[in-house]
Amino acid sequence: MLTELFEKDKLRFLLFGGKGGVGKTSCAAATALWAAENGNETLVISTDPAHSLSDSFGEKIGDSIRKINGIKNLYGLEIDPKKAIREYSEKIKSTPELGLPIDIETDELEELTTLTPPGADEALAFAKVLEFIEKPEYDIIIFDTAPTGHTLRLLSLPDILNSWVGKLIKMRAWIQKMTAFFKRILGRGEEEDKTMEYLEKLKKTIEVARAELSNEEETRFIPVMIPEAMSIYETERLVRTLYEYEIPVTHIIVNMIHPEVPNCTFCAARRGMQIENLKIINEYYSDFSIVYIPLFPTEIRGIPKLKEFAKYLFEEEFTPKID
C-alpha cells in the first residue's frame, strides 16, 4: 500500500513512471485525489507531452495551475514542453555575449552556444519542475512523468544542467573580468550583472532539486508496470537507473491484472501469461512493496472511477492468486 508513505510527514514528492499505457496517469491522478481528500494541499503535474491528466479528471487542466473542480486542496498542471521551448529560445536570443569570440575549447563552445542541453523538451520540463520544487504552499507534489526513456533523461538533467550552468558561470566570470578591464581603460563605472546572479541562483536551485530528489524522507519514485514481458524489461532498466541516480524506490505498482473469468479460454490464456510474469516480478522485486491493481471493466476516467482505483493503492490490498 502507498498509505505508509504518507505516514511520514516529510513526504513531498511522488513521481510515477513507466512504459506508455501502463497506468501512470491513472496512478498519479488517483494518488493526488486521495492525498487531497486526506488533508494535503496537493499539486499534480504532468510532464508527459501526451497529456492525459485532463482526460483522467474529466476536465481541462492546461499549462497554468488550476484547481480541480469539486475537490478541496487539489490542483493540477500540464507542462507544455513546446511552449517552454519557445519561452526558452526567447531567453537565449537575449543573451548576446554568447556570440563573442571566446578562448575556450571549440566543442565546449558549441555545447554552450547551441544551448540545448540534451533533450530540450525534458530540460524545459525539468526547468519548470524546479519552479515547483521551491513552492512551499503544497504539502505534496505528484509527478505524472513521460514514458521511461524520456524520464531517464529527465533524471540525469540536474547533473548535466549543473555542469552546463557551471561552465556558463565560468564564462561569464571571464567576460566580466574583461569588461571590467575595458571599463577601467575607458573610464566607465561598474554595472550590475543580473545574468550572473540569475545563473548562480539557477545553479543553487538545480543542486537543491537534485538533493531533494534523492532524499529518502521527501521523495519516492514509483514505477508502474503491467505483468507483460516488455514492461518487465523496461521497469528493470528504469529501476537500475533510479539506483544510479540515487532516487529512492521502495514501492512498485503492478496494474491491469486480469480477473478469473469462468468458461473463457481467451481470458484463461491471458491470465496464464500474466501469472507467469507475476511470478518473475514477485521474485525480482521481493525487497520492494508491490501494490497490485486489477483490470477494471471500464477506463479509469472521472472522479468516481479514480476513487475506486485509489482504493487499491491505499485501502484494500489486492493479492492475485498465482499458484
What separation in angstroms does the CA of 277 have from each of 17, 47, 98, 196, 289?
Answer: 19, 29, 53, 53, 17
Kindly state the smallest distance separating residue 150's Cβ from ligand ADP, in Å.
12
Task: Establish if 313 lies at the interface with ligand ADP (CB under 6 A).
Answer: no
Question: Which residues, 6 or more positions from 311, have their beta carbon under 8 angstroms from its beta carbon?
Answer: none
What is the phi-psi region of residue 235: left when phi exceeds 0, alpha when psi lies from -120 to 50, beta otherwise?
A: alpha
Task: Establish if 213 lies at the interface with ligand ADP (CB under 6 A).
Answer: no
As a whole number of angstroms, the distance between CA 140 and CA 145 comes to: 16
Cell numbers placing 173? 566570470
Task: Establish if 148 lies at the interface with ligand ADP (CB under 6 A).
Answer: no
As a whole number of angstroms, the distance between CA 107 and CA 225 comes to: 40
**Of 47-55, 107-115, 183-191, 203-211, which part binds Mg ion (CB under 5 A)?**
47-55
Strands 66-67 and 74-78: antiparallel
Among 3, 4, 8, 20, binds ligand ADP (CB under 6 A): 20
Kindly state the smallest distance separating residue 107's Cβ from Mg ion, in Å.
37
CA angle 320, 230, 240 (to 5 degrees): 90
Task: Establish if 24 lies at the interface with ligand ADP (CB under 6 A).
Answer: yes
Kindly state the smallest distance separating residue 174's Cβ from ligand ADP, in Å.
46
Among 2, 5, 11, 22, binds ligand ADP (CB under 6 A): 22
Kindly state the smallest distance separating residue 103's Cβ from Mg ion, in Å.
47
The SS3 of residue 319 is coil
Task: Establish if 205 lies at the interface with Mg ion (CB under 5 A).
Answer: no
Kindly state the smallest distance separating residue 25's Cβ from Mg ion, in Å.
3
Of residues 27-56, those binding ligand ADP (CB under 6 A): 52
Binding mask 50-89 for Mg ion (x = CB under 5 A): --x-------------------------------------
**Size of residue set near Mg ion by CB under 5 A:** 3
Cα–chain-centroid distance for residue 151?
Answer: 7
Of residues 260-299, those binding ligand ADP (CB under 6 A): 293, 295-296, 299
Binding mask 111-140 for ligand ADP (x = CB under 6 A): ------------------------------
Nearer to ligand ADP, 117 or 227 (CB): 227
Closest residue to Mg ion in the complex (CB): 25
**Of 20-28, 73-81, 88-96, 112-120, which part binds ligand ADP (CB under 6 A)?**
20-28
**Size of residue set near ligand ADP by CB under 6 A:** 16
First CA to last CA distance, the chain: 22
Strand blocks (E) in 127-250:
140-144, 219-225
Task: Establish if 25 lies at the interface with Mg ion (CB under 5 A).
Answer: yes
Cell numbers placing 167? 561552465
In whole angstroms, how large is the CA radius of gyration of the chain?
23
As a whole number of angstroms, the distance between CA 101 and CA 85 comes to: 26
Nearer to ligand ADP, 21 or 166 (CB): 21
Task: Establish if 21 lies at the interface with ligand ADP (CB under 6 A).
Answer: yes
Task: Establish if 245 lies at the interface with ligand ADP (CB under 6 A).
Answer: no
The candidate with the shortest Cα–Cα distance to 166, out of 106, 110, 108, is: 108
How many Cα atoms within 13 Å fall on the side-chain side of residue 204?
A: 7
The SS3 of residue 77 is strand
Which residues in this chain contact Mg ion in the complex, by CB under 5 A? 24-25, 52
